[in-house]
Structure 1
Amino acid sequence: MTTPRPGRVADLLNPRNSKVLLAVMVLYALYTLVPLVWLVINATKTQAGLFSSFGLWFADDFALWDNLSQTLTYRDGIFLRWLGNTLLYVVVGAGGATLLATLAGYGLAKYRFPGRRAVFAIVLGAVAVPGTALAVPTFLLFSELGLTNTPWSVIIPSLISPFGLYLIWVYASDAVPTELLEAARVDGASEFRTFFTISIRLLAPGVVTVLLFTVVATWNNYFLPLIMLSDPDWYPLTVGLNQWAAQAIGAGSQPIYNLVITGSLLTIIPIVVAFLLLQRFWQSGLNAGSVKQ
């Protein structure tokens, strides 16, 4: 592990530099928290209150519970249908992506076979390709297969996570000692038993880290379901709320800004809870994968 130079450490601990860093972090915290605060505050306002009061302060009427009720019951409870669709895509898509990335990353880290370096280059190249660049080719492929406008058109592409594979690959290289695997083989344990009883426990922080990344990516996925799905009954929350927002600004339509804001608040709550519960695994996984002993 590289030791910082004493002069560099002294520069970082300089009171003047510390104040600058503190100011930068405060500005960054405000930049990230102000939109969330605005969302929470405006979710408590009525439709009229959104335009008659300051955005970062509460209105005279506290309408949070009424907004929640309207959001969950609007158009026969379509929001709950979108929530169920999103959970389906996350459980099957993100869960499957985590499983495949774990198996593949572990295999590439602990087994030697011809073409391993080529696979490594392909994985790195896949990490550099943005998902939006593949959306249209994926749509054309799924259209030929007759899978568009079905849940599979969102789930199957979500099963591939090159970054998750690479992260598990790097993490497994140091987290799972080769000597431990060789000892298990000498004792007669099969490769599957070794993986599911020994290796998976050592890989837990890395697996949770990949799970968080894939869950967030699938939960926030917008462009892929937008081009794949045309039936509102299969929309995830991202596409459904965007449809509500378009309806709110459309000419001659009923304004539902309060429902869009309240629905957005409900949408981010599961992600915030997931990060709060799993942040220690996420942090330990990143640290282990970025520091070479």
Structure 2
Amino acid sequence: MSPSQTLTRPDRAASADHATRPGDRRRTRSASPLLGRGVVNGVLIAAMLWTVLPLTWLVVAATKGYADLYSTGGFEFARVRLWENLVALFTFNDGLFLRWLLNSFLYAGVGALVSSMISILAGYAFDKFRFPGKERWFGLVLLGVLVPAAVTTVPLYLMASDLGLTNSFWGVFLPGLASPFGVYLGRVFSQAYVPDELLEATRVDGAGELRTFWQIAFPLLRPAFATLFLFGFTGGWNAFFMPLLMLSDHELYPVGLGLFMWRQLINTDQDLYYPLLMTGSLVAILPLIVAFFSLQRYWKAGLTAGAVK
């Protein structure tokens, strides 16, 4: 036996050979990723079906009359009468549904626009300026984030009642302008997107605070503004409890509350209200889809990359 040769126990040699066999390593490595990928894909497919199937059913149901809703399957098209349903929807009761849509655009669209601007301005101020009690005031804002909206609805209603704002446009519009979560996100976005060095450079050049914000900070905060606007628009469009408490005039209802009223009247005339409810529900979600796909291009990070040398 040469000096370079060593003695090895047979059981250890066999175990080492088995552990380092290339085929076993490949099988071990490939089985785990495939299993993990299959679980992830299965969860994604289930989530997709959970989201898409109700919307698909609503699209199909909006093309049917009351009799076809129960005589055909949920995903089965009958005699397509979508146009007739749309005409009936927008002409019913002198165009009441169109009035509800316009109210929702005012409550949600204009309200989200103003609320997002207030949140951006407040978040920018909390981030870039120094003033007495700054962190304590911001702590109060965070407390507002923790309080559920349902808890503050009744106090807001009582305040609006004392001010004579119930059953009016302002009773629903004004409470939606304050968004503690929006102020919090505004400060976070300001910290991430607006470098302090860039603002210092503009101030050295003689720009005032308002000019600095509108010409330097706000263009950098457009993705944040779009995100806050979409959050506010979605929340305002889907608002239900506040309008339910504040409003008693059907002409002032948002579209969600109006559809709920039709749902309550369904037993009085099912042939009339079932198609109205299905078609109205389909039309009511279209602005949310349009808003999402219109604003998603602004959701990009790294817009300030290279702004500071």
Q: Could you tell me the TM-score, scaled by structure 2's length?
A: 0.85
Q: Does 1:44 align with 2:63?
A: yes
Q: Percent identity at matched positions?
A: 45
| Residue of structure 2 equivalent to 1:93 | 111
* Letter of the structure 1 residue corresponding to residue 284 of structure 2: T
The alignment of Structure 1 onto Structure 2 pairs a total of residues equal to 275
Structure 1 segments unaligned to the other structure (5+ residues):
1-9, 289-293
SS state at 2:151 partner: helix
Q: Distance in 2 between matches of 1:242 and 1:175?
A: 42
- 1:223-242 matched pairs, under 5 angstroms: 223-242=241-260
Q: Distance in 2 between matches of 1:235 and 1:149?
A: 10
Q: Give the Å deviation of 1:255.
A: 4.2
* Letter of the structure 2 residue corresponding to residue 54 of structure 1: G
Q: Distance in 2 between matches of 1:17 and 1:110?
A: 45
Aligned pair in 2 of structure 1 residues 124, 220: CA closer, same or farther (>3 Å)? Answer: same
Question: Conserved in 1, the CA contact under 8 Å of 2:123 and 2:183?
Answer: yes
Spell out, residue by residue over 1:138-185, the C-alpha distance to the aligned partner (whole angstroms, 9 max, x if none).
111100110000000011011011111111100101211111111111
Q: Distance in 2 between matches of 1:172 and 1:22?
A: 36
Q: Give the Å deviation of 1:280.
A: 2.8
* Letter of the structure 2 residue corresponding to residue 277 of structure 1: S
| Residue of structure 1 equivalent to 2:199 | 181
* Letter of the structure 2 residue corresponding to residue 23 of structure 1: G
Question: Conserved in 2, the CA contact under 8 Å of 1:102 and 1:168?
Answer: yes
Q: Give the Å deviation of 1:254.
A: 5.9
| RMSD of aligned Cα (Å) | 1.9
Aligned pair in 2 of structure 1 residues 67, 124: CA closer, same or farther (>3 Å)? Answer: same
Q: Distance in 1 between matches of 2:193 and 2:111?
A: 26
Question: Conserved in 1, the CA contact under 8 Å of 2:141 and 2:184?
Answer: yes
| Residue of structure 2 equivalent to 1:24 | 43
| Residue of structure 2 equivalent to 1:73 | 91
Spell out, residue by residue over 1:226-245, the C-alpha distance to the aligned partner (whole angstroms, 9 max, x if none).
11000001000011011011
2:54 corresponds, among 35, 45, 55, to: 35
SS state at 1:58 partner: coil
Q: Distance in 1 between matches of 2:234 and 2:173?
A: 14
| Residue of structure 1 equivalent to 2:73 | 54
TM superposition outliers: structure 1 runs of 4+ over 3 Å? 252-255, 285-288
- 1:1-293 matched pairs, under 5 angstroms: 14-59=33-78, 61-250=79-268, 255-282=272-299, 284=300
Question: Conserved in 1, the CA contact under 8 Å of 2:90 and 2:96?
Answer: yes
> Which structure would you say has the larger Rg?
2
Q: Give the Å deviation of 1:92.
A: 2.6
Q: Give the Å deviation of 1:91.
A: 3.0
Aligned pair in 2 of structure 1 residues 285, 118: CA closer, same or farther (>3 Å)? Answer: farther
Structure 2 segments unaligned to the other structure (5+ residues):
1-28, 305-309
Question: Conserved in 1, the CA contact under 8 Å of 2:66 and 2:271?
Answer: no
Q: Give the Å deviation of 1:287.
A: 11
* Letter of the structure 1 residue corresponding to residue 59 of structure 2: V
Q: Give the Å deviation of 1:50.
A: 0.8
Q: Give the Å deviation of 1:80.
A: 0.6
